[in-house]
Amino acid sequence: MARLGYYPYVIEDEATGTLKYSVRLKAYSTIDEDEVMNKGAVMANCSSGELARGFAALSQVIDELVLNGHSITIKNLGCFTLSTRTGIWDERTKKWKSAGKESMDDVSPSDIRGLYLRFYPCTAIRNELKNATFFNVVDEKYGVSAGLDPKDGVNDGYGVKPTTPTPNP
C-alpha cells in the first residue's frame, strides 16, 4: 500500500493577493538508474547489465513508436501517449486560454502550443494510489502540528520556508 509524506506550503491567491495554504507531496530522493537496475535484476533473477540492455532497448522502442504517433501500453505499468495543448494568447490576462475554432477549416497545427508525453498508470497502480495513506512529514520529523502561522513560514521537510510566495516558473 502506498504511504506518502506531505507537507503544507503557502501560496498566494492570484485574484485576491491573500496567502493560503496548500499541500505538496514529499519526494524523499531521486533513485538513480544503477540502483533501479540492481533492484530489478534481483527481482528478475538476471544480471543488472542484462536488465540495463533490455531497458535501453525498450526505451528506444517506446521513443520510436510514441514519436510516430502510437500509444504504448505496457502490462502492469501503464500507457504512454502524446497529447497536445492548443489555445490562443489572451493579452488581457497574459496567459494562454483554450479556444475552439468556428470552422473545421480554421484548425491547423499552428494552434498547437505544446506537445506532451503523458503516462497513465495501469489499474493496479491506480488502485494503490486510491488507497494511499498520507502522513505529515512536519509532524513525523519535529513532533509538532503542521498548523503553522503564515508569518512563521512553512516547513517543507528541508527547513522553514518564508511565506512570501515565489512565482511559479
Kindly report, residue by residue over 81-135, the tens digit of the pLDDT. Answer: 999 888 777 788 887 777 778 888 988 888 888 889 999 999 999 999 999 998 8
Asked whether the beta carbons of 8 and 148 are under 8 A apart, the reply is yes
Q: What is the pLDDT of residue 147?
A: 43
Look up residue 76 and give its three cell numbers: 502492469
Whether this prediction's pTM lies above 0.75 is answered by: no
Look up residue 163 and give its three cell numbers: 511565506
Q: What is the pLDDT of residue 85?
A: 82
Instruction: Work out the percent of the chain whose per-residue pLDDT is above 70.
Output: 82
Q: Is the pLDDT of residue 161 over 60?
A: no
Q: What does the buried/exposed string (b/e) look like for 33-53 if buried means 16 or more CB atoms within 10 Å of the residue's CB?
A: eeeebeeebeeeeeebeebbe
Q: What is the pLDDT of residue 162?
A: 41
Cα–Cα distance, 146 to 105 (Å, whole number): 54
Spell out the domain ranges in the chain: 1-68+133-169
